[in-house]
Amino acid sequence: MKRAHSDVVKTSLRADLFEEMLKRFEKNKEILEKAGWIVTDINSFEWWDNLKTADEILISSILVQMTKWEIVKKVIVKLREKGLNDLQKLANLSEKEIEDLIKGVNFYKTKAKRLKKLAEKVKEIGLLNLVKNEKMLKEVEGIGDETAEALQLFVANLPVFPSSTYSSRILSRILGSNISKKEAKELVEEYIGKDIYKLKLFHAGIVTIGKTYCFSKPKCDSCIFKDLCAYYKHVMKS
């Protein structure tokens, strides 16, 4: 009975922790915005740094690998201005034409091939049909597990929390226990449930904290979670 009571208390404490983290993400939207996350309407595509369409998000997910986001955003804006921020339209272009459009991103020739294949797949089965199908989405060259899960959450509004190094590192430090990417994903989905807004906010917040404070050598003194964090209390202050 004691063990069962302990498990109930532990569950309650973790639920309270996740709720507190969500409140702090909500309160510190400007920090998230500086990191490229716009906290907005649940159905908006603008969560991804003001991108305007599902097509733009998919295109950016291919272009951003090994390339600074600022460069990717410039390319997306150029495509938008030319009316080519649409995968069905890109499917009608040659690889060389796509190369010319995305020059500036690293490995643009490889990415032009990947965009062409992605565009043809979208033209064949439809964008949402692709994004909602986890197996097919992860078979797209250039889209890994984390990216696929992020696309399912932010494009298709599926209740999926993207596994990431950031979530593993941050939750491990806060909880004072080694937590794998898979375990972090399971914890978030257990305590937050299927609330799409909260899942989006939590992912945006976790990535922001990971890119802003929680490095391998963390900047704990500036972090919004330092008073909640076991790592800060027991390592940084010792």
DSSP string, 56-120: HHHHHHHHTTTS-HHHHHHHHHHHHHTT---HHHHTTS-HHHHHHHHBTBTTHHHHHHHHHHHHH
**pLDDT at residue 15, as a whole number:** 87
**pLDDT at residue 50, as a whole number:** 97
Q: Are 104 and 70 in contact (CB under 8 A)?
A: no
The span from the CA of 161 to the CA of 147, in Å, is: 11
Same domain? For 90 and 70 the reply is: yes
Let me know if residue 33 belongs to a domain. yes
Let me know if residue 45 belongs to a domain. no
**pLDDT at residue 55, as a whole number:** 98
Tell me the residue ranges of DSSP E strands in the chain.
Answer: none
Looking at residue 23, its amino acid is: K
Phi, psi of 73 (to 5 degrees): -65, -35
Determine the structural domain holding residue 225 and report its residue range.
2-40+160-236
Stretches in the chain below the pLDDT threshold 50: 1-6, 8-9
Same domain? For 72 and 146 the reply is: yes
pLDDT tens column, 80-117: 999 999 999 999 999 999 999 999 999 999 999 999 99
Same domain? For 108 and 130 the reply is: yes
Domain limit, last residue, from 133, 154, 175 = 154
**pLDDT at residue 238, as a whole number:** 61
Same domain? For 223 and 165 the reply is: yes
